[in-house]
Amino acid sequence: MAEEKQREQVNEDRKAVFKIPNTALLAIAFLVVCVTPVAFGDVPYLQWLYLFPIALAVFVIRTRTTATAKGLEVRTMFGRKDLPWTSLKGLAITDKAKVQAVLKDDTKVALPAVRTRHLPVISLVSAGRMADPSGLTDDVTEAPEKRDDSGE
């Protein structure tokens, strides 16, 4: 009985976050350095050019998809949407290897930063509710068996 509760707790604790790498902020910092001479040059009022790097930084920091045992959380620059596993019909793959969630009413929701290589991870986190088309997770059990290495 306690072992089943422990397995359920392990499944509930699983979480995968798919986001744009934070190293993209280095490119944005370089953009700030490049904009500075133009913003404070001979033409007045060009400081508004700093809005572009700020918007890019907000985009990189906010945009993500989080997969948990309860479902998917899709965060974009201006909003957030929770998609429980029960509301999903499946996942669709676009031409550019991006993944979209297909709801039961056939509407599609783009999953930011999720690619086809991430499908096995989503399958593991969802505890099999979303099938892995690659077959990489077929041999993985839900919880590894404990070994007795006491030497007896």
**Tens of pLDDT along 47-73?**
999 999 999 999 999 999 999 999 999
Are 108 and 101 spatial neighbours (Cβ–Cβ below 8 Å)?
yes
What tens digit of pLDDT does each residue of 84-132 get? 999 999 999 999 889 999 999 999 999 999 999 999 999 999 988 888 7
What tens digit of pLDDT does each residue of 21-43 get? 999 999 999 999 999 999 999 88
Are 119 and 91 spatial neighbours (Cβ–Cβ below 8 Å)?
yes
Give the model's pLDDT for residue 2.
58
Instruction: Report residue 128 as tokens.
Output: 């099999």
**In the beta sheet, which residues pair with residue 83?**
72
Residues of the chain with pLDDT > 70: what percent?
A: 80
Instruction: Report residue 113 as tokens.
Output: 């930063």
Residue ranges of E strands in 35-118: 64-68, 71-75, 80-84, 88-93, 98-103, 108-115
What is the overall mean pLDDT for the chain? 86
pLDDT band (50, 70, 90) for residue 142 = very low
Dist CA 75 CA 64 (whole Å): 5
Q: What is the CA radius of gyration of the chain?
A: 21
CB atoms within 10 A of CB 37: 8
Beta-carbon contacts of 24 under 8 Å, excluding residues fewer than 6 positions away, are 60
Instruction: Report residue 3 as tokens.
Output: 């072992």
Dist CA 115 CA 117 (whole Å): 5
Give the model's pLDDT for residue 112.
96
**In the beta sheet, which residues pair with residue 100?**
92, 110
